[in-house]
Amino acid sequence: MRLALYQLDMAIAALRAVQQLKGPADGVLRNFFRENNKLGVNDRTFIADTVFGVLRHFFSLKYITGTTIPRLLTLAYLAKFRGINLRELKPFITEAEIKQLIKIKEMELDSLPLTIRTEFPEWLVEKIQAKMLDTNILALGLSFQKQAPLDLRVNTLIANRNDVLTRLSKDGIDASETSYSPIGIRLVRKSTIQSHEMFITGNIEIQDEGSQLLGYLLQPKRGEIVVDFCAGAGGKALMMGALMGSKGRIYAFDVSERRLNRLKPRLKRSGLSNLFPRWISNENDVKVKRLAGKVDRVIVDAPCSGLGTLRRNPDIKLRQTPESIEEARRGQEAILVSAAKLLKPGGRLVYATCSFLPEENQEIIENFLAAHTKFTLLNCAELFMQQKIPLDTGMFLQLYPGEHNTDSFFAAALMLARND
């Protein structure tokens, strides 16, 4: 596709809107496209890819351009990282910009400071240097600068993976089995899968493989009572409902009605009859307290920094701060304590985040176990081995994009002692 002036101008305008940091970049872009509804599919794809490309390389672009002006950041990204030839850009830019882009294209990035090469803010590099070598920090940062794949989950209530793969192949969509999730599919190239019949009829849902693996750590059984404590739009709750054969009850709790409303059309497509979305005001809501001691399994995908999703949400590095991490940590501790009260003896709790920071992960679990001695830590690798899932990251589940090609997920599985 040959670049047009209006596409460049719209990409710059979209980046300018995102840079105001008034909300997550994907939401800002949705509003931008809604306001500019005459843009075609190819236009929206170019604009979105450009904006997210700039965000993934924001610190590098800021360093080599010496500015945060949207126009120059966009041009530098297209020339340096997107590989667009300057001859293609020449009709749209000034002579001064051409000279600057020539210099930028010739710049070597390997000698830049660690914070620039990793695309991590300085405070984050300093925080993780206490736990990781600089070479490992660099590898982690570089892994987050790549685009994330698009993963699907097969709705096993009404479909199986082989049949879905056959249908996708027949329709010209390249896809393969995921490496770990027994019901996951990875698309080779991004596709407008939401318009495909398999999606519309509920046979497949969009869900990262790492998120799917949390369901296999929880291992819900038919007829049980299960709670998804921070359900959001319900991806994990829908998966658990299918694993349970739509038998038993799943309560999907969340403090955001807006997020729960996004679950409604997904629930309708899924064919499930055992999933019940419930809005709660906080972790101590009466709807939560009524279930104390009655629940077989609880999953807590706790609100967190989201740093493990930097491939998908690169603007997070511009919006998070040490203070917001600390605020999230306090909330995680309170939610975990409240969720644990729901379990009956012998029940299982899975605590998870999409973060790689120990203070949101291992330290939360260690502090909880020290204060709640009736809980024991289960071995995640053993739980996966029992289900013939070839994944061993030790006692905890810790996924990284470079090693596992998933979002960076952490999870711990806990069991409440039985009354023997």
Domain end: 56, 91, 112, which one?
112
In this structure, the answer to whether residues 175 and 214 fall within a common structural domain is no
Q: What is the pLDDT of residue 191?
A: 76
8 Å CB contact between 196 and 185: no
> What's the Rg (C-alpha) of the chain?
23
Question: Looking at this protein, which amino acid is placed at residue 190?
Answer: K
- Rounded Cα distance between 406 and 260, Å, is 25
Q: Count structural domains, the chain.
A: 3
138 domain-assigned: no
| Tens digit of each residue's pLDDT (9 = 90 or more) over 338-384 | 999 999 999 999 999 999 999 999 999 999 999 999 999 999 999 99
Catalytic residues: 354
The residue segments making up the domain with residue 52 are 5-112
The three-state secondary structure class of 162 is helix
Q: What is the pLDDT of residue 20?
A: 94
- Rounded Cα distance between 231 and 234, Å, is 5
H helices of 302-361, in order, are 316-319, 322-340
123 domain-assigned: no
In this structure, the answer to whether residues 373 and 230 fall within a common structural domain is yes
Phi, psi for 412 (deg, rounded to 5)? -130, 140
H helices of 144-193, in order, are 161-170
225 domain-assigned: yes
In this structure, the answer to whether residues 161 and 218 fall within a common structural domain is no
- Rounded Cα distance between 283 and 311, Å, is 30
83 domain-assigned: yes
Residues of the chain short of pLDDT 70, as ranges, are: 1, 420
In this structure, the answer to whether residues 248 and 376 fall within a common structural domain is yes
125 domain-assigned: no
- Residue 219 region by backbone torsions, left for phi larger than 0, else alpha for psi between -120 and 50, else beta: left
- Rounded Cα distance between 258 and 393, Å, is 35
DSSP state of 148: P
In this structure, the answer to whether residues 355 and 265 fall within a common structural domain is yes
Domain end: 206, 222, 249, which one?
206
119 domain-assigned: no
What secondary structure does DSSP assign to 345-364, as a single string?
EEEEEEEEES---GGGTHHH
Going by C-alpha positions, the residue among 302, 300, 371 that lies closest to residue 332 is 302
8 Å CB contact between 60 and 112: yes
In this structure, the answer to whether residues 361 and 388 fall within a common structural domain is yes
Indicate whether this model's pTM tops 0.85: yes
8 Å CB contact between 368 and 317: no
In this structure, the answer to whether residues 310 and 401 fall within a common structural domain is yes
Largest Cα–Cα separation, the chain: 80
- Rounded Cα distance between 317 and 118, Å, is 11
In this structure, the answer to whether residues 369 and 384 fall within a common structural domain is yes
In this structure, the answer to whether residues 201 and 214 fall within a common structural domain is no
E strands, 197-293, are 204-206, 225-228, 249-254, 275-279
- Rounded Cα distance between 163 and 167, Å, is 6
In this structure, the answer to whether residues 387 and 405 fall within a common structural domain is yes
In this structure, the answer to whether residues 99 and 191 fall within a common structural domain is no
Q: What is the pLDDT of residue 173?
A: 93
- Rounded Cα distance between 283 and 227, Å, is 12
Q: What is the pLDDT of residue 420?
A: 65
- Rounded Cα distance between 201 and 178, Å, is 22
- Rounded Cα distance between 350 and 411, Å, is 7
In this structure, the answer to whether residues 355 and 297 fall within a common structural domain is yes
